[in-house]
Structures are given as structure tokens and as C-alpha cells.
């Protein structure tokens, strides 16, 4: 039986955020440079014909199982409206999810995540096939990105902080434009994902952890005797 759309959206909200960041990163970079007529120079200098090998962690099956179980429990609490605790994920837990959670299957071998202070960092290998530019078909954006993440009052903000491609910093005129874009804006075009975000109080990266805090449902007052 096909799973209801809303459940599926709730099931992969974190996956959806990461995909939006990766695809948004490729679209923004490629789109901006296309407008500037830099396509040929960009393709030759900043893209590769094949994906790059990403770092790996020596994760145990237990670590992968525990990370996916914690995510499943958190998802279920959101679905039923239980006032559960925040979900806190460090470097190993994030990469365990990428390695083992079904929702993250499309990210496997495309991203390696780490957290430094209040910045989510990722080594990424993003296929550019989704860009409407024939010259980048079959090409990859291989690099390292620093990303700022926050959610307040139901508004998710994911912005690019830094980006190196093939060991090179992009020109500052490009970076200044990219930093102004919310990489998660397209998530609000999906009603099921927007509904999930409405049930979250905060998403923040702090002290080496990605912390997702659900909005608490007021407990009904007990009737007076």
C-alpha cells in the first residue's frame, strides 16, 4: 500500500532539507554564472567529469542502527503530536544517517557532513544534470561548503557561508550574491514539508551539534474538583 503523502513528507523532512541545500547550491552557482555568461569558464575551472571520493567514517552497524532508530522515534513523535525531546545530532550521527537511513539513500556518496562550532560543513559531490544548461550535463560540482542553519517561528533559513570548488574559492562577486539566497526556500512549496516545519520550534547548529527542537503542545489543564 502506498504511504500517505503527509507521512512521507514527515518521514524525510531532514533528508529534504539536505537535498534542497545540495541541489540549491548547484542551481545557484550555475544559474548565477549563466546569467553572467561565464558558463564555459565555469565548467572548465570549477566542475569535473566525475564525482569525487568523499571521506568515510569507520561507523559500526550499531551506530548506524542507533542513529536511524533515534530519527524514526523523533519522526513518530512529530506525527502523533507527542511532546518529545529535541533531536541532537553530532558528526558521527549525521553521517550514520547518510550511510544507513532509507530516507538518505540519494545522498550516499554525495555528501560528508561535519559541524564546526555553529556552522554545518559538507564536502559535496553534486551532479549538475538538473540545471537547464547543456554544457554541464554529466558534470559535477565537487567541493566543500560551510552552511548556516536556523529555524525560528516556522521559517527555515539555510544560507551559504563559504564554498571551495576544486580547491578554489569562488570569486567574491559570486559569493556575495550566493550568501543572500535561502537554500531552503523551495521546501515551502511542498505542503507536507511546510506542515512539518510548522511543528518545529527551532533548528540550530551549536557547539558541534545539529539540534532540532519540536514545538511543544500545551497540556490540557486538569478539571478542578
Residue 166 belongs to a domain: yes
Residue 221 belongs to a domain: no
Rounded-to-integer distance, Cα 160 and Cα 143, Å: 13
State pLDDT tens for residues 48-102: 899 999 988 899 999 999 998 998 888 888 877 777 889 999 999 999 988 887 7
Residue 220 belongs to a domain: no
State pLDDT tens for residues 154-207: 788 888 888 888 888 877 877 887 788 887 777 777 777 777 777 888 888 888
Residues 108-118 have a mean pLDDT of 85
Q: List the domain range (segments joined by +) for residue 32.
A: 5-214
Rounded-to-integer distance, Cα 181 and Cα 36, Å: 17
Residue 7 is predicted with a pLDDT of: 38
| Number of domain units in the chain | 1
Residue 222 belongs to a domain: no
Q: Which long-range contacts (CB under 8 A, 24 or more apart) does 35-38 make?
A: none
Considering only residues 196 and 111, tell me which one the structure prediction assigns the higher pLDDT: 111
Residue 18 belongs to a domain: yes
Considering only residues 27 and 59, tell me which one the structure prediction assigns the higher pLDDT: 59
Residue 141 is predicted with a pLDDT of: 83
Max intra-chain CA distance, the chain:
77
Residue 119 belongs to a domain: yes
Rounded-to-integer distance, Cα 126 and Cα 136, Å: 12
**Burial group, residue 222, by CB count within 10 angstroms (0-12, 13-18, 19+):** exposed
Of the candidates 207, 198, 175, 197, which has an alpha carbon nearest to the alpha carbon of residue 20?
A: 197
Q: Is the pTM of this model over 0.85?
A: no
Specify the DSSP class assigned to residue 49: S
> What grid cell was written down for 9?
513528507
Amino acid at each position: 500500500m502506498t504511504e500517505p503523502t503527509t507521512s512521507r513528507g514527515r518521514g524525510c523532512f531532514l533528508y529534504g532539507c539536505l537535498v534542497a541545500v545540495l541541489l540549491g547550491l548547484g542551481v545557484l552557482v550555475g544559474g548565477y554564472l549563466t546569467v553572467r555568461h561565464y558558463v564555459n569558464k565555469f565548467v572548465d575551472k570549477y566542475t569535473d567529469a566525475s564525482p569525487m571520493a568523499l571521506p568515510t567514517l569507520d561507523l559500526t552497524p550499531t551506530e548506524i542502527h542507533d542513529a536511524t532508530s533515534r530519527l524514526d522515534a523523533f519522526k513518530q513523535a512529530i506525527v502523533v503530536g507527542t511532546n518529545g525531546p529535541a533531536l541532537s545530532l553530532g558528526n558521527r550521527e549525521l553521517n550514520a544517517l547518510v550511510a544507513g537511513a532509507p530516507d538518505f539513500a540519494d545522498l550516499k556518496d554525495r555528501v560528508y557532513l561535519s559541524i564546526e562550532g555553529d556552522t554545518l560543513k559538507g564536502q559535496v559531490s553534486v551532479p549538475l544534470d538538473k540545471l537547464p544548461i547543456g554544457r554541464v550535463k554529466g558534470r559535477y560540482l565537487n567541493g566543500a561548503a560551510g552552511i548556516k542553519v536556523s529555524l525560528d517561528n516556522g521559517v527555515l533559513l539555510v544560507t551559504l557561508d563559504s564554498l571551495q570548488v576544486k580547491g578554489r574559492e569562488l570569486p567574491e562577486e559570486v559569493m556575495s550574491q550566493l550568501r543572500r539566497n535561502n537554500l531552503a526556500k523551495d521546501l515551502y512549496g511542498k505542503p507536507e514539508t511546510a506542515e512539518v516545519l510548522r511543528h518545529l520550534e527551532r533548528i540550530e547548529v551549536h557547539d558541534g551539534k545539529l539540534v532540532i527542537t519540536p514545538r511543544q503542545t500545551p497540556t490540557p489543564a486538569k478539571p478542578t474538583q
